[in-house]
A and B are shown apart, each in its own frame.
Chain A
Amino acid sequence: MKKNYYKKQRLGTVIRTVILWGFMLLCIFPFLWMIGASLKKEPDVFQTPFTLFPDYLYLDNYAAVWGGKYNYAQMFGNSVFVTVISVVVAVILCCVAGYGFARLKFPGRNKIFILYLATMMIPGQLLMVPKYLMFREMGIYNTHWSLILPACFSIYGVFLMRQNMQQIPESISEAARIDGANEWQICFKLIMPLCKPAIITLVILLFTWQWNDYDNALLFLQDKDLYTLPLGLTYFMDETGLKYNLIMAAGIITIIPIFIVFLVAQKYFIGGLTAGSVKE
């Protein structure tokens, strides 16, 4: 009886493993194909019979995309610039505002916070038109600031930091106050270090959103020299037409940074995005 039970369990594990692995391979197949195509010479991309990976490595695709007339290096630089500045500023601002909402008392605090949360409901795409018109008036249309400035203020980030900072006991702040520390010192030197996991989560979330942002770049950037990677990739697709080996190499380049962060910090990644389901 018991032996039978274990046998059945083991069989279940095997079946589940086979099904899930098959499913997972189906999920990552597009990426495998992408890698394969990016390493092939152009005529071999759609080879028959079907081959996923070539039996040679043709790294010239990457070289052609990165430098020379396509100049992907510059777009990569633009993406890094926009992402780094907006993430750094946004994280600091979120921590400061989160601290204010969580640990300081002032009149109207809760009302302001509720209004603040309500703005989270506004779908970003609704603001395409007015933001485009506003940015033209403000003179930041077709500059990187049109991507950086709005991204500096993350409503979700403030929400996340407030949640975390509320859980730290007030006695810690009290002790520091008695020692003569002011609120800014308490925020930066005491509370923020205690929220390190939440801050890492926030950095990863904001990094992902900003790095992958296509919509805003499409609307607000015009000069090719300013393009960030996702927009650059669409331009590249139009430019090269059907040279899928080059397009896939370019695509892989846009994915690599996210992929590295994903592997290194997967714990925060999955936890954070699962908690952060408020945004797309």
Chain B
Amino acid sequence: MQRGKTISGDQARKRRKIKNALTGYSFIIINVVGVFIFWVVPLIFSLILSFSKWDQSQGLAGIKIIGFENYVKMWSDEWFRVSLVNNIKFTVLYVVLLLVISFFVALFLKEKVIGKKLVQLGTYLPYVVNVVAIAAVFLALFSRMGPISAFFKFLGVEDPPLFLNESKYALYAVTVICVWQALGYTAMLFLAGLINVPEDLYEAADLDGAGWRHKLLHVTIPMLRPTTFFITVTTLINSFKVFGLINIMTNGGPGTATTMLVYNIYRTAFRFNKMEFASAQGMVLLVVIFIISIIQFRVQNRKYEEM
């Protein structure tokens, strides 16, 4: 009697456990399958392509694995090299400008300001507007007759350059537009960090008779390190993903002046139909982002251990 009871108790528990597991899976299954189809499968497909040579006339059967050839060829490809160099130049400038400007905007916004809300909304606005509208308006602003030229003429520059049409300036013009677009967002991240700095640290510094510069260097900046780190990482990653603006405004030009990684992948794949070569370049992008993410993960974990 006693034994039979425990067995059926076990069975009931087992059955309940299976039922619970099935319920759990039923909740996540659609999403997991979706993510698998639209992220993991393309990733694997891209990885295979990057190691292949593809005779597209035979359809998918024309894919032949050839090893590392695409990866080797890449480094002697002029376009790829230029796109990498341009992208690094862009990244450095973009990250530095964005961090410095948005940090000071946030610093000001933390103090008493009249119409603070409106200032926040205004600086944030470019971040929510689609890239095509932004490209359209800046093409107009930068055009020969446009307000930017007019402004330089007003300052006394006789024949102001068309910044987007000259290789010397085009990359900088694009950088400025990208910084402008992300500014409000980064400033908001900084502001959130600044608000979390305990007020008594400033009071203690006041008691020591510290000036604003001392407070900035020895209280604000050190306390803001986690925020700054987070912003740097996301900005860094985003700087390797610029595409729409380039494709609409400059087509990577003039010449190769504004060709960056993602634009070059697009160009290689969809203008020259070299899907395998584009995939290999895409893998470089993945590796770059992967390394940045790993560093982020390590640093953040170290912080938890220190705590």
Contacts and interface: CB of A to CB of B under 8 A. Distances in A.
Interface in A233-263: 233-234, 237, 244, 247-248, 251-252, 254-255, 258-259, 262-263
A130 B46 contact: yes
Given A121-B293, A122-B286, A129-B282, A234 B113 contact: no
A212 B275 contact: no
Interface in B255-307: 262, 265-266, 269-270, 275, 278-279, 282-283, 285-286, 289-290, 293
Interface in A1-57: 9, 12-13, 16-17, 19-21, 23-25, 27-28, 30-31, 33-34, 37, 45-46, 48, 50
Contact of B113 (A17, A96, A100, A259): A17
A27 B183 contact: yes
A266 B121 contact: yes
Interface in A152-205: 152-153, 155, 158, 183, 187
Contact of B119 (A21, A109, A230): A21
Contacts of B28: 96-97, 100-101, 112
Contacts of B120: 270
Contacts of B139: 237
Given A20-B108, A116-B35, A129-B46, A211 B20 contact: no
Contacts of B241: 123-125, 280
B127 interface: yes
B114 A23 contact: no
Interface of B: 20-21, 23-28, 30-32, 34-35, 38-43, 45-46, 49, 60, 105, 108-109, 111-115, 118-134, 136-141, 143, 145-147, 150, 180, 183-185, 188-189, 192, 230, 234, 237-238, 240-241, 243-244, 247-248, 262, 265-266, 269-270, 275, 278-279, 282-283, 285-286, 289-290, 293
A129 B111 contact: no
A183 B43 contact: no
A23 to B, nearest CB: 7
B19 to A, nearest CB: 10
Contacts of B150: 46, 48, 50
Nearest to B279: A129
Max chain B C-beta neighbours (<10 A), residue from A107, A125, A208, A266: A125
Contacts of B146: 46
Given A134-B45, A274-B188, A116 B32 contact: yes
A30 B176 CA distance: 13
Contacts of A45: 140
B137 A31 contact: yes
A247 B278 CA distance: 33
B105 A119 contact: no
A251 B185 CA distance: 22
A4 to B, nearest CB: 16
Nearest to B185: A273
Contacts of A93: 30-31, 34
A19 B28 CA distance: 50
Cβ-closest 8 pairs across A and B: A100-B27, A106-B24, A153-B34, A46-B145, A130-B42, A212-B130, A97-B31, A24-B122
Given A13-B112, A130-B279, 20 more contacts: A16-B112, A24-B119, A27-B126, A28-B125, A50-B147, A97-B32, A100-B24, A105-B24, A121-B290, A125-B265, A125-B285, A126-B43, A128-B266, A129-B265, A130-B46, A131-B38, A230-B132, A237-B136, A251-B136, A255-B130
Contacts of B134: 30
A264 interface: no
A16 B275 CA distance: 53
A218 to B, nearest CB: 7
Contacts of A152: 34
B262 A125 contact: yes
Nearest to A124: B241
B227 to A, nearest CB: 11
13 contacts: A13-B113, A50-B147, A100-B25, A112-B28, A122-B39, A125-B285, A129-B49, A130-B279, A137-B60, A214-B131, A247-B136, A263-B121, A277-B185
A109 B24 CA distance: 9
A28 to B, nearest CB: 5
A20 B116 CA distance: 9
A70 B290 CA distance: 43
A215 interface: yes
Contacts of A106: 20-21, 23-25
A19 B180 contact: no
Given A125-B282, A137-B60, A158-B31, A215 B244 contact: yes
A248 B31 CA distance: 39
A123 B26 CA distance: 28
A150 interface: yes
Contact of B20 (A104, A233, A262): A104
A269 interface: yes
A206 interface: no
A231 B130 CA distance: 10
A123 B265 CA distance: 13
Given A233-B132, A255-B129, A270 B122 contact: no
Given A116-B32, A214-B131, A134 B24 contact: no
A260 to B, nearest CB: 11
B275 A269 contact: no
